[in-house]
Structure 1
Amino acid sequence: MVDSGTSYRDKVSQLISWGHWFSFFNIIAAMLLGTRYISQSGWPETLLGQTYLIFNWVGHFGFLVFALYILIIFPASFIIPSQRLMRLFAVLVATTGMMVLLLDIYAYETLHLHLNPLVWELLLSGEKTDMNAHWQYLFVAVPAIFILQLIMSEWVWRKLRKLTRKRIGIPVATVFAICFISSHLIHIWADAFIYSPVTAQRSTFPVSYPMTAKTFMEKYGLLDRQEYQRLREQRGQENSEVIRYPLEPLAFAPDASKYQKNLLMVMIEGLRADMLNPVTMPHLYQFANENLWFKNHFSSSNDDMAGLFGLFYGLPGSYAQSARTEGLRPVLMNTLNNRRYQIGLFSGDGFTNPIYYQSIFSADLQSDDLPDLPAWQADAEAVSQMQAWLAARDTSPWFGYLELATVSDYEQSGDYPQPFQPSLDSAMAGVDTQTALVLKNSYNNAAHYIDDQLGALLEDLKQSGQLENTVVMITSNHGMEFNETGLNTWGSNTNYSRYQLQVPLVMHWPNQAPEQITHYSSHLDVAPTLMESMLSVSSPAENYSSGTNLFELKNRPRKWVIAGDSRDIVVVQPQKTTVVDKFGNYKVYDKHYTPLPEGKPQLSVLMQVMHELKRFYHPEEHDR
């Protein structure tokens, strides 16, 4: 009995010692494979970012493999009596782990995503895509990995006594522990102070959950929460990748500067598409019927900032944080400045959205002189200032931008006609009415008021003769919902229904016949349209945009549009809408935004979308 106990204890001790060394060499193998993530994500520009990457690379893979050993192989050492059987079990576990790592690397290189429900859906789908064809070849590596693991297992077992004598286990474990702890401490600091060269790496490696401690730091006076919120609002979200925009320097036609047209863009905040009707907005409705009216036009997001970003940059909202962090201006604005356009910027809310002064108009925005007025009065003042500015223009080409806020601020009562009743005014007077009806009527009244303001502006433009040489675009950053979907969602940025995503687009283009266009269009199409058809860029639109020239959509109509932001990917199709969150979970809705419990995304479309969402992220940009 004593001999038996001693033998069992010796066997277990030997297997545990072997397991430690077997895990160590698998950590080295995992780290070598992990360099693929680094090559795809790029090398940070700052010393602290580089230090964090190295510490995180060593510590994270050391932790992952050792955790696998502690959770699976270590307990099995006490259960499986045969050392040969135990080593075979460990080899199978290691082979499986390495195979999953290879699949994750492939998913990261292909989709810039780690393994998640969506990626597994893509990998296991029956659709014939390039991804499905290629990933299956990875399983050819399984026998090779298994054989290499067997060889490593046998070699470690034979050399176990010699390895044990070297007494380097504790120093090696100390290095991994220091790297692991240091990486998390660096991230805690970077997260608190929004240091993007570090926080941008939080999703580089698989199963990565870097530590944050804002509450703890605030408790002990190490963090000012208000200052943190201010910095976060100023700089945008804390994690952003380096964007390469445009992909190549732009080229223009030789006579690009001749016969330049003026450009007027009107952004009506929060105006949804169905407001463009003869009752609510008669002036704009008439203008739409006399020009180009895109009746199935979608914003790039249901969010203020991402909607503006898509309009000016022609890129999905997922790129917005990167552009803000790096202060990249839209190629549209750069081109207008290079052509010496006179620029006039007018806003009813003083351009309070940070993306205006951080990137879009960073070189043009002057301090706002508008008094502190209610939105409806501030809008009237902005329109008046634009009318005066237009009246003073000479023969030089000009770009005018007008932002109107009354519609989005419809709950603030205004001293203007209220033809739609009952509205908020009557509700405040004690009239018992349905909340949705009251809010919707107040919203209609605000749109009706803005329509009067627009009517006067457009009439001035026509009377002065400037309309004959001016491109006019009237649209919105996103729509508004009044719980029409029945999901208890109101306003904007609450779901991705058409009420929140579909917006008007009315375009006056000199010498273009009136037309109502019913095929799908997107905010992403506006920048390439202006760049190609107004500013004569000869470079392909794909070099600086995810959109298509609106005049070319007749020949190749869209089957879907991209929307969303840094949190969600949204694909809008005629009969359904697919929403994928940043963790890869997805939901499918019908055209009325009713959830489809058994709905599946169209994987070939999602593959195209995923490609578009990473096309402007180029690792080599880090080295420039």
Structure 2
Amino acid sequence: MILSETPRRILLTKLVTWGHWFTLSNILVALVIAGIYVFASPLPDSLLGITFLLVNWISHIGFLTFFAFVILVLPLIYAFPKSRFIRGAASTIAALGLALLAFDALLYTKYGLHINLGSADLIKSETQPVINAFGWQQWGFLLLLFVVWLSFQLILANALWKRIERLQRIRLGMPISALFVACFVCSHALHIWADANLYQPIVKQDNLFPLSYPATAKALMSKYGLLDIENYKQRKALLFDRNVKGIKYPSNPVYCSINKNEQFVLLIQTDATELDLSNTNLSQYQGHYDLSSNDHSSQFSSLFGLPEIYLSDLNNKTPLMLELPQKLGLPVYLYSQIPLEHSILSGLSTDYDAFEQATLSDKPKLAVGFVTHQQIQSLLNSELLDNNHVVISSFAANRETIEQVPLYANFDLKQNLSTHLDFPATVLERLGCDALSDDYSIGQSLHNPRRNWLVGTKGSKVIVMQNGNRIEVLSNGSYKIYDRKTGEETVETLNTGLLSQAIKHLMHFY
């Protein structure tokens, strides 16, 4: 009893209690700073994903802050139980730690990376020119900023120390500890379930916070028959991130020449009325698809040669199919009967009268039109086919299913399986450009196709076709195989090699 009431023991108890309150205060500050990570990333699109985000935010940041207290401050309390020294040391440690957290948050916002050995070279290369350009004013400002931040920590530490007797009477230890433990257990339990089921709204948050290593239990669940590990590995290999960020278009510089005497017309029908082609020299080709989920996406895919997942990130880009010929001196005309929502494309388009006049003229040009049945029929009746190389196709009439759409041309194509994604490569090759189509398109030229399969997206699905099969990969990595012609589901074995290759091809503009 006497030992428990010695001055040293009383001081240690006060310092430990003070340390807990000081740590709790800095946990709240750290949670505010960590909000940068949360708001720098798209919010999950499900209630479960948002729940995980909140509990992981609280538990992980709270754990990091408390862990820093345990390994850095608590040993000092027992080794050097001097209140002024402990308050000064703890304030310095807190100021440095939170400043480091803020720097990491800014690094994550700009580059999507955290401070670690893997990002060391990037940090050095980015900061070295800035540091070299610093003068004494900039260094003085940074020093002043840290002094202000350290002063805040010292004021907080002293304010808590002056009120420590009053704070010792407040019994909040158990409720606060219970809150953090509950959040910790909930976040890791949710992640174990999400990892086993490849639930993307949770799994894609794995690298949101620094030093984050969420729990998994695949080996244990597999051991007790709760998880088919081979099926899990297969589904994980098929996952594709639809939230495309930071893409590069074209993926490499495109250098090629253009035949300035070429006359090429690409017409895509926007309505479902059947064309009368009985008196034309157009050849019809089977196995052509429009995989887009709406007409606007179909316009985008036809001009860029990229699936709709890339649409929002290319709103300030010009399709290479139009830009390259125009820059090399070939007149380019674009018309759309339905609105062009893409900001740059709407500025490039012309009215129908000017488009019709240019299309029917016996002059070199590239003309691309999204037109009605009546407009196509009128152009065909006006000797369009006499002077131009012409390709005609159509939007999908039914977006709920995946069915073939018409494809006609007045010159030979070597096409067996194609989509609207193939139009840019086909047009540019016909115009004389011999650049690699993979640098600017997911599709391939219909003059000289190099692959016997195609890949695209339709909403949240990845679509892969080869021979008589159509494979649909869902957002959770599960898949279904259908007969391409009948649309009926089949029980054929999945070609994982093909699927992995197709998804990699789909992602190469990242």
* TM, length-normalised to structure 2: 0.52
Q: Distance in 2 between matches of 1:110 and 1:194?
A: 27
Give the drift of 1:20: 0.7
Give the drift of 1:141: 3.0
Q: Distance in 2 between matches of 1:81 and 1:197?
A: 47
Alpha carbons of structure 1 residues 165 and 4: separation in structure 2 relative to 1, 3 Å:
closer
Larger Rg: 2
- Residue 508 (1) aligns with residue 429 (2): yes
Alpha carbons of structure 1 residues 4 and 203: separation in structure 2 relative to 1, 3 Å:
closer
The equivalent residue for 1:179 is 183
Query: Residue 89 of structure 1 aligns to which amino acid in structure 2?
Result: A
The equivalent residue for 1:62 is 62
The equivalent residue for 1:581 is none
- Which of 198, 203, 206 aligns to 2:202? It is 198
Contact 2:437/2:444, CA 8 A, preserved across alignment? no
The equivalent residue for 1:83 is 83
Three-state SS of the structure 1 residue aligned to 2:265 is coil
Alpha carbons of structure 1 residues 83 and 527: separation in structure 2 relative to 1, 3 Å:
same
Three-state SS of the structure 1 residue aligned to 2:97 is helix
Q: Distance in 1 between matches of 2:232 and 2:198?
A: 8
Gaps in structure 1 of 5+ consecutive residues: 248-257, 264-310, 324-329, 345-360, 367-389, 404-469, 475-506, 531-612, 617-624
Three-state SS of the structure 1 residue aligned to 2:210 is coil
Contact 2:52/2:190, CA 8 A, preserved across alignment? yes
CA deviations 1:261-282 (Å, max 9, x no partner) are 599xxxxxxxxxxxxxxxxxxx
Query: Residue 265 of structure 2 aligns to which amino acid in structure 1?
Result: Q
- Which of 201, 216, 223 aligns to 1:219? It is 223
Alpha carbons of structure 1 residues 181 and 128: separation in structure 2 relative to 1, 3 Å:
same
Q: Distance in 2 between matches of 1:38 and 1:132?
A: 32
Three-state SS of the structure 1 residue aligned to 2:25 is helix
CA deviations 1:239-296 (Å, max 9, x no partner) are x47337999xxxxxxxxxx942599xxxxxxxxxxxxxxxxxxxxxxxxxxxxxxxxx
**Equivalences for 1:271-282 in 2 at 5 Å?**
none
Alpha carbons of structure 1 residues 394 and 224: separation in structure 2 relative to 1, 3 Å:
same
Alpha carbons of structure 1 residues 130 and 226: separation in structure 2 relative to 1, 3 Å:
same
Q: Distance in 2 between matches of 1:80 and 1:201?
A: 41
Query: Residue 30 of structure 1 aligns to which amino acid in structure 2?
Result: A
Alpha carbons of structure 1 residues 133 and 227: separation in structure 2 relative to 1, 3 Å:
farther
Q: Distance in 2 between matches of 1:362 and 1:399?
A: 29
Alpha carbons of structure 1 residues 18 and 224: separation in structure 2 relative to 1, 3 Å:
same
The equivalent residue for 1:417 is none
- Which of 228, 231, 242 aligns to 2:232? It is 228
Alpha carbons of structure 1 residues 220 and 342: separation in structure 2 relative to 1, 3 Å:
farther
Q: Distance in 2 between matches of 1:399 and 1:46?
A: 45
Alpha carbons of structure 1 residues 7 and 127: separation in structure 2 relative to 1, 3 Å:
closer
Alpha carbons of structure 1 residues 338 and 193: separation in structure 2 relative to 1, 3 Å:
farther
Identity %: 27
Query: Residue 91 of structure 1 aligns to which amino acid in structure 2?
Result: S
Three-state SS of the structure 1 residue aligned to 2:227 is coil
The equivalent residue for 2:129 is 128
**Equivalences for 1:550-569 in 2 at 5 Å?**
none
The equivalent residue for 2:265 is 260
**Equivalences for 1:253-332 in 2 at 5 Å?**
259-261=264-266, 313=306
Contact 2:59/2:183, CA 8 A, preserved across alignment? yes
Three-state SS of the structure 1 residue aligned to 2:115 is coil
Gaps in structure 2 of 5+ consecutive residues: 249-262, 269-303, 314-318, 322-339, 343-367, 373-390, 446-506
**Equivalences for 1:510-589 in 2 at 5 Å?**
510=431, 512=432, 523-526=438-441
Contact 1:49/1:197, CA 8 A, preserved across alignment? yes
Alpha carbons of structure 1 residues 144 and 528: separation in structure 2 relative to 1, 3 Å:
farther
CA deviations 1:544-572 (Å, max 9, x no partner) are xxxxxxxxxxxxxxxxxxxxxxxxxxxxx
Q: Distance in 1 between matches of 2:198 and 2:171?
A: 42
Contact 1:107/1:113, CA 8 A, preserved across alignment? yes
Q: Distance in 2 between matches of 1:129 and 1:103?
A: 15
Query: Residue 128 of structure 1 aligns to which amino acid in structure 2?
Result: P
- Residue 25 (1) aligns with residue 25 (2): yes
Give the drift of 1:201: 0.7
The equivalent residue for 1:151 is 155
The equivalent residue for 1:41 is 41
- Which of 206, 213, 219 aligns to 1:209? It is 213
Three-state SS of the structure 2 residue aligned to 1:260 is strand
Q: Distance in 2 between matches of 1:165 and 1:148?
A: 25
Three-state SS of the structure 1 residue aligned to 2:40 is helix
Whose relative contact order is higher, 1 or 2, with alpha carbons under 8 Å and at least 6 apart?
1
Query: Residue 242 of structure 1 aligns to which amino acid in structure 2?
Result: N
**Equivalences for 1:281-430 in 2 at 5 Å?**
313=306, 393-395=408-410, 400=415
Contact 2:267/2:392, CA 8 A, preserved across alignment? no
Alpha carbons of structure 1 residues 151 and 508: separation in structure 2 relative to 1, 3 Å:
same
Give the drift of 1:124: 3.9
Alpha carbons of structure 1 residues 93 and 365: separation in structure 2 relative to 1, 3 Å:
farther
Alpha carbons of structure 1 residues 163 and 261: separation in structure 2 relative to 1, 3 Å:
same
Three-state SS of the structure 1 residue aligned to 2:195 is helix
Q: Distance in 1 between matches of 2:35 and 2:88?
A: 28
Give the drift of 1:32: 0.7
Q: Distance in 1 between matches of 2:179 and 2:96?
A: 26
Three-state SS of the structure 2 residue aligned to 1:81 is coil
The equivalent residue for 1:291 is none
Q: Distance in 2 between matches of 1:139 and 1:314?
A: 50
The equivalent residue for 1:168 is 172
Alpha carbons of structure 1 residues 161 and 398: separation in structure 2 relative to 1, 3 Å:
farther
Q: Distance in 2 between matches of 1:166 and 1:73?
A: 22
Give the drift of 1:83: 1.1
Give the drift of 1:147: 0.8
The equivalent residue for 1:299 is none
- Residue 95 (1) aligns with residue 16 (2): no
The equivalent residue for 1:242 is 243
Three-state SS of the structure 2 residue aligned to 1:43 is coil
Alpha carbons of structure 1 residues 186 and 527: separation in structure 2 relative to 1, 3 Å:
closer
Give the drift of 1:145: 1.4
Alpha carbons of structure 1 residues 12 and 402: separation in structure 2 relative to 1, 3 Å:
same
The equivalent residue for 2:51 is 51
Alpha carbons of structure 1 residues 119 and 218: separation in structure 2 relative to 1, 3 Å:
closer
The equivalent residue for 1:407 is none
Contact 2:196/2:232, CA 8 A, preserved across alignment? yes
Alpha carbons of structure 1 residues 132 and 227: separation in structure 2 relative to 1, 3 Å:
farther
* TM, length-normalised to structure 1: 0.43
Give the drift of 1:472: 6.2
Paired residues, what number? 318
Q: Distance in 2 between matches of 1:78 and 1:471?
A: 71
